Structure 1
Amino acid sequence: MRLDFTPEQEAFRSEVRGWLDRELDGPFRHVRGMEGTSEGIDKRFAWERHLGRSGWNRLAWPEAFGGRAASLMEQVIFHEEYARSGAPGRLSHVGLELVAPTIMAFGSDGQRARFLEPTAMVDIVWAQLFSEPNAGSDLANVQTRARLEDRPGGPVWVLEGQKIWSSFAQYSQWGMALVRTEPGSSGAKGLSMLLVPLDGKGVDIRPIRQMTGGSSFNEVFLDGAETAAENVLGTPGEGWRVAMATLTFERGVSTLGQQMSFRTELDRVIRAARGNGAIGDPAIAKRLARAEAELRVMRYTALRMLGDTGLSRAGLTYKLYYTSWHQRLGELAMDVLGPAGDIAEPGGDAWRLQKMYLESRSDSIWAGTSQIQRNIIAERGLGLPREARPPRQEPARQEPAKQEPAKQERA
């Protein structure tokens, strides 16, 4: 894996940087720097649709699906330049980076024709409906159920259950839901991946207010929600394999864009330390130097991880590494700011660093807790014995209700 860029790749970087700077200094200058879920939602969606019309949303898609079939390094460059430019965080990330590749890999021709183009144009926004209140890190323990029922217009899946931590579900028209479709099944067996309209009956989306003031996450209640029988990805019962593929897409080249957002945050901390004199404290200076060195190591590790099969130890340790680093950066930011970090007014560097500190506390929970990540490193990377696990509780078998003869006669 090359850790530098060829002249051709640097020319592509110039193309991307030039386009982003023109658009963000011109017609879309009002979206630069927007983040979270409390800033300019309509303007940000307009920006993302502009990205779609300009072809950037399907940069990595195969040519067969209207994409540019960009190389791995070109994708890395785009995500780096996007973050460097100060362009707003993507509200359509789930659809473009997770759902679309999953539909390409497992969807039928009809599903691809129906969903891929509107997803690229951000006419359809997607939510990922995986986690549940009792099935976060233990994803195979999902209890949301779906059953096939006949309807005059054709059979439909009827869903009952609850999903949680669904990013941007309040803006989404469709969800990709991992549900249990085989009665009596448990664990990874009997699961299916369904595409579910979120604007229909039986769907209740409730934003979760965070301590930062925004609502990036949502609870989604499914009480008789329906989706057509053909809206299953792969075949019924194949949901676990589909879900594992989706989670693999989640750890893709967008991680390098994440690196650039970390770069921006560290630069803010350094700027604050220089502004208030905290950089003169040897302990603060040492922590800043360590953060800088570790961020560079993180970037090279991500490049190595993307360049191999994804099964290396670098891949196993990456999530634990960056979440720990990011939480330490948040703590460093608050130490640099001092009392000013507690009373920061919205809009400035201090306020953004305060938000970063608060949001970083969740890094060690989402996409696999740090405890789960350590188990993965120990068992898959180091070959240590598997952790003892309690036996899974099998669902109680329900016997059909017996009807009394008298009731049968009255019927």
Structure 2
Amino acid sequence: MDLTFSAEDEDFRAEARQWLADNLAGDFAELKGLGGSGREHEAFSERLEWNRHLGAAGYTCLGWPVEFGGRGLSLSQQMIFHEEYARSNAPARVNHLGEELLGPTLIAWGTDEQRARFLQPIVKVEELWCQGYSEPGAGSDLAAVRTRARLEGDSWIIDGQKVWTSLAHHSDWCFVVARTDPGSTRHAGLSYLLVPMDQPGVQVRPIVQLTGTSEFNEVFFDGAVTDVSMVVGDPGAGWGVAMGTLGFERGVSTVGQQVGFARELAVVTERAKSTGMIDDPVIADRLTQARIGLEVMRFHALRTLSAYESGSVGPEASVSKLVWARWHRELGELAMDILGGSALTVGPDYALDDLQSLFLFSRADTIYGGSDEIQRNIIAERVLGMPKEQRP
């Protein structure tokens, strides 16, 4: 793993840093620090406009091949942009699911017609996407999905329910894993469908979270319709496509995520200093361990990304999710211990401060995106070669 950057990389860093400094100005300057986990409701329309500004300037889809609207930048340059974006305190982006998950999936498995239809609107942030994977009773165990789709003439007809669907209430389209082979079970007989959200057969119901916000949703499909051409890969072979999408989720944006984590740790440390809790040797030790854990995360992410670049990454990417989820949850707990009794009080209308939001939202970190238990099974079975867990 080479941790050095070339002269070309450093030129790109200077370019990105200068562009962000010049453009996070005027009305856009007011968006700094807004959005993110548990705070997706903040200035959503304004952040969408900022994302479109990024797209017009060529700062979306950086790693996509040029022929699909990207810039074809190297992995190191993509990582540099995510680092600089986080360091500039730019607002959380609203197009992650389209840019980082669905777009690369279509580049890898989509038809020419699907790429022509969907990739440019993702680059320009003209259409937003959500992910129709988890269901009641089929969360981390995605192979248990019960949402069904049947082919009638030139259309797929979808019936079922998805849950924990991030930003579904803002999305134009959803990529849905549905069972299309009657009588099939587990991984067989699933298809990966692209479904428009604005139609009578789709109902979105927000889920109110501990933070008081609702970026997660339930989505009900009741005779929802999509064209026969809107299946990615072969019908019935959607499991491999769905797993490929999840592989993209562990990509380069995790480095930028860790810069955000560092900023949160700095806020927690400053609060410990201002309250005098920094003098408590237990608190000081936990802050030190958090700093060490952050560095471990960074180097592991760089090692994983090096494997991505060589095409050798595999299920060991699950280690990243396991590590950052536990670290972030423990940071929220540390923040509450530093705040002491004041952590139990909130402002009018349930107004949480940043550290309270950090604590409450991070409780879910070890569940969403694949629970800790599932990640440990993947590591044990597919990396360490241990026997598979017995199923009923």
Is TM (by shorter chain) over 0.5? yes
- Farther off after superposition, 256-265 or 372-381: 372-381
Which amino acid is the alignment partner of residue 173 of structure 1?
A: D
**Structure 1 runs, 4 residues or longer, greater than 4 Å off:** none
Aligned match for 1:330, one of 332, 335, 349 = 332
Residue 269 of structure 1, CA deviation: 0.4
Determine if contact 1:34/1:89 at 8 Å carries over to the other structure: yes
- Farther off after superposition, 31-40 or 125-134: 31-40
SS in 2 for 1:367: coil
- The corresponding residue for 2:146 is 143
Aligned match for 2:115, one of 103, 112, 116 = 112
Listed as ranges, the matches of 1:62-73 within 5 Å are 62-73=65-76
Residue 64 of structure 1, CA deviation: 1.1
CA distance in 2, matches of 1:384, 1:107: 35
Residue 350 of structure 1, CA deviation: 7.9
Percent identical pairs in the alignment equals 52
Which amino acid is the alignment partner of residue 353 of structure 1?
A: L
SS in 2 for 1:194: strand
- The corresponding residue for 2:344 is 342
- The corresponding residue for 2:127 is 124
TM-score by length of 2: 0.95
Q: CA RMSD of the aligned region, Å?
A: 1.5
SS in 1 for 2:24: helix
CA distance in 2, matches of 1:386, 1:148: 35
- The corresponding residue for 1:409 is none
Residue 7 of structure 1, CA deviation: 3.1
Residue 86 of structure 1, CA deviation: 1.1
Which amino acid is the alignment partner of residue 354 of structure 1?
A: Q
TM-score by length of 1: 0.91
- The corresponding residue for 1:367 is 369
- The corresponding residue for 2:285 is 286
Residue 258 of structure 1, CA deviation: 0.9
For each residue in 1:10-41, what CA deviation from the matched residue of structure 2 results, as whole angstroms up to 9, or x when unmatched?
22111111111211133411111111222111
CA distance in 1, matches of 2:230, 2:297: 39
SS in 2 for 1:158: strand
For each residue in 1:221-265, what CA deviation from the matched residue of structure 2 results, as whole angstroms up to 9, or x when unmatched?
000000011111111111011101100111100110111110111
Residues 21 and 222 of structure 1, relative CA distance in 2, 3 Å threshold? same
CA distance in 2, matches of 1:202, 1:130: 18
For each residue in 1:311-353, what CA deviation from the matched residue of structure 2 results, as whole angstroms up to 9, or x when unmatched?
374x24221111111111111111111122222549xx98111
Which amino acid is the alignment partner of residue 218 of structure 2?
A: E
1:13 aligns with 2:13: yes
Which amino acid is the alignment partner of residue 19 of structure 1?
A: W
Residue 355 of structure 1, CA deviation: 0.4
Q: How many residues align?
A: 383
Which amino acid is the alignment partner of residue 351 of structure 1?
A: D
SS in 1 for 2:160: strand
Determine if contact 1:337/1:350 at 8 Å carries over to the other structure: no
1:231 aligns with 2:230: yes
- The corresponding residue for 2:360 is 358
For each residue in 1:280-338, what CA deviation from the matched residue of structure 2 results, as whole angstroms up to 9, or x when unmatched?
1111111111101110111011000110122374x242211111111111111111111
CA distance in 1, matches of 2:294, 2:315: 20
Determine if contact 2:69/2:119 at 8 Å carries over to the other structure: no
SS in 1 for 2:328: helix
- The corresponding residue for 1:393 is none
Which amino acid is the alignment partner of residue 160 of structure 1?
A: D
- Farther off after superposition, 11-20 or 293-302: 11-20
- The corresponding residue for 2:169 is 170
SS in 1 for 2:380: helix
CA distance in 2, matches of 1:124, 1:110: 17
Determine if contact 1:208/1:217 at 8 Å carries over to the other structure: yes
- The corresponding residue for 2:323 is 321
Structure of larger gyration radius: 1
Determine if contact 2:211/2:352 at 8 Å carries over to the other structure: no
Determine if contact 1:33/1:87 at 8 Å carries over to the other structure: yes
Listed as ranges, the matches of 1:8-407 within 5 Å are 8-35=8-35, 36-150=39-153, 155-308=154-307, 309-311=312-314, 313=316, 315-345=317-347, 351-390=353-392
Determine if contact 1:341/1:351 at 8 Å carries over to the other structure: no
